[in-house]
Amino acid sequence: MIRHKKETKKSSILYKLFALSIILSFIGLIFIFESSSVRSFSEYSNSFHYLKMQSIWLVLGIAALIFFSFFDYHKLYYLAFSFMMMTIILLIFVLIPGIGNKVGGARRWFDLGFFNVQPTELAKFSVILYLSSWLVHRERKRFFAFIAFIGILMFLIVLQPDMGTAIIVFSLSVFIYFLAGIELWYLAIFLPLSFFIFYFLIKLSPYRFNRLLAFFDPSRDPLGITYHINQILISLANGGILGRGLGASRQKYLFLPEAHTDSIFAIVGEEFGFFGGLLIILTFLVFFYYLFRISQSASDRFGRLLAGGIFVFFNLQVVINLAAIVNLIPLTGIPLPFMSYGGSNLLISFSLLGIAINIARQSRTI
């Protein structure tokens, strides 16, 4: 009887976790259409182009979630190295002119005709798998090998350039190393040095440095480097407490850059106000809570590291995206999970959620 109750409670939590991801994705579809219809018509003579593409990726994402929910996560231990090697090869190939597609000064995508694929999203997936499998055994003298590995990944990602993803992958790596609990005192030296290196990379690039200046002074160049953040803040201010109402956003009419991708929360805030934005945040908090419970209840060390990495992945993306939207940190180009337009991120998000569900299914309790 007790075991039956525990299984029922576990199933309830997993259904809720799945339902939350679907709810966020469908809200995302609504706002992707809302914020992209004008741009979509001007670019493709079809107001539904971005909605259609995201819907296709959503179906693929749900299929990936179902697959990984039933694929024994222990087998990923033996596949992690292959995933990592494939990721590194793709990160090299995307930098080659004629193979990688260059958009807006960045070479980050493979153009496969019908859609684009971003290998840096696969890097987030692979680094969670690889480090969880690599650090599952508490062996000493791994820190410098860990640094070399992270250095190679950061180098390939920064070359694209994609500083936002570099920060995500770096943070994921450090958190998983911390969760593994191996020679933690090295981090006390490594982290300050890392912040200096990131600042040097920002200082080295005029584009990144201008973003930093825009963060400190949004009024510095309203029609130039601070245009994006100013338009975001205008969206949020226009929304007020209750918002303008569904479909009533003015900023979506090509005023707000990346309205259907990284800045989608600004459209949510404009149309549904403070309370609408707060509801989205509360939904993510409940989502995080269930993921945290899964990470705490995993039946083995590999499962705990894997689930912990997945928990950190979603937290980092949501916190960085929302913090940038309200100008707590510089804009980084990090999408909001399940809601922002972007097939690669959506597919990876559902795949990682599927792994978390599989870990929960094999745990004794949640």
Secondary structure of 6-60 as H, E, C letters: HHHHHHHHHHHHHHHHHHHHHHHHHHHHHHHHHHHHHHHCCCCHHHHHHHHHHHH
Of the candidates 276, 356, 264, which has an alpha carbon nearest to the alpha carbon of residue 315? 356
The pLDDT score that the predictor gives to residue 78 is 92
**CA separation for the pair 258, 365 (Å, rounded):** 42
State if pTM tops 0.85. yes
From 165, 150, 152, select the one nearest 92 (Cα to Cα): 152
Q: Which residues pair with 111 in a beta bridge?
A: 116
Phi-psi region of 131 (alpha: psi -120 to 50; beta: other; left: phi over 0): alpha
* Phi, psi (rounded to 5 degrees) for 97: -55, 135
Residue 100 bridge partners (DSSP)? 97
Query: Looking only at Cα atoms, what is the longest distance across the chain?
Result: 66
pLDDT in the model for residue 97: 77
Q: What is the DSSP letter of 101?
A: E
**Res 158: pLDDT:** 83
Q: Name the stretches of the chain with pLDDT < 70.
A: 1-7, 9, 102-109, 111-115, 138-141, 183-185, 203-208, 221-224, 254, 366
Sheet holding 101-103, edge to edge: 101-103, 106-111, 116-117
Q: Delimit the domains of the chain by residue range.
A: 2-361
For the segment 124-183, what is each residue's pLDDT rounded down to a tens digit?
999 999 999 998 886 666 778 888 888 888 888 888 777 788 888 988 988 998 888 776
> Within its chain, how far is the Cα of 164 from the centroid?
10
Q: What is the pLDDT of residue 331?
A: 79
